[in-house]
A = this chain, B = another copy of it.
């Protein structure tokens, strides 16, 4: 398997698949078209991937692997919470611009009725970020850098929700339009503004002091 296919060719095929799937969705993408665009015959494609689903999964895996690697790099940091947060946000922006299609692939599995195996692949990335975020939030809570009356896991969840939406807002058509509706045409391309605003939002979400509270629901 893959003895003759060079690593580059292999990658090219997957990238072509990713581009098509990201563009049209799994169901509308056409295997014969992908093969042609990748400069190979359908036969080769079917030699390496038993069927369309399997090929899609391989494309998805590659996408998630790249994203996971990028995520790993972002995460490895000894900075304090807020510095780290800022870095992560900027990294998300960068990733979204550079790896649009990977993120669209990721987005592809978040909808789509009966796609069975795809979500399994995503477990890795979700587990990774959930573990990492939860842990550094818990650590920050211990150090007193962060309010301690929210469950770290849930905090991490809300945190990642914001990051995920940010990713999609840069990469996926629908979310991008919505982004514009909310923030205006220009803001979408003003990365620094968005980054600083979101950092502030998260900063205050993290550092609320209960002593300050005056108007709280019981």
Contacts and interface: CB of A to CB of B under 8 A. Distances in A.
Copies of this chain, complex-wide, total 4
Contacts of A174: 109-111, 118-119, 122
Given A27-B28, A82-B216, 10 more contacts: A29-B113, A108-B112, A109-B174, A110-B174, A118-B174, A119-B174, A147-B200, A154-B182, A158-B197, A199-B217
Contacts of A123: 177, 181
Interface in A112-137: 112-115, 118-119, 122-123, 126-127, 130, 134
A174 to B, nearest CB: 5
- Which of A150, A179, A205 has most chain B Cβ within 10 Å? A205
A86 B28 CA distance: 41
Interface residues of A, number: 80
Contacts of A175: 110
B202 A182 contact: no
A2 interface: no
A126 B206 contact: no
A86 B217 contact: yes
Interface of A: 21-25, 27-29, 80, 82-83, 86, 104, 107-115, 118-119, 122-123, 126-127, 130, 134, 145, 147, 149-151, 153-158, 160-162, 164-166, 168-169, 172-175, 177-179, 181-184, 187, 194, 197-209, 212-213, 215-217
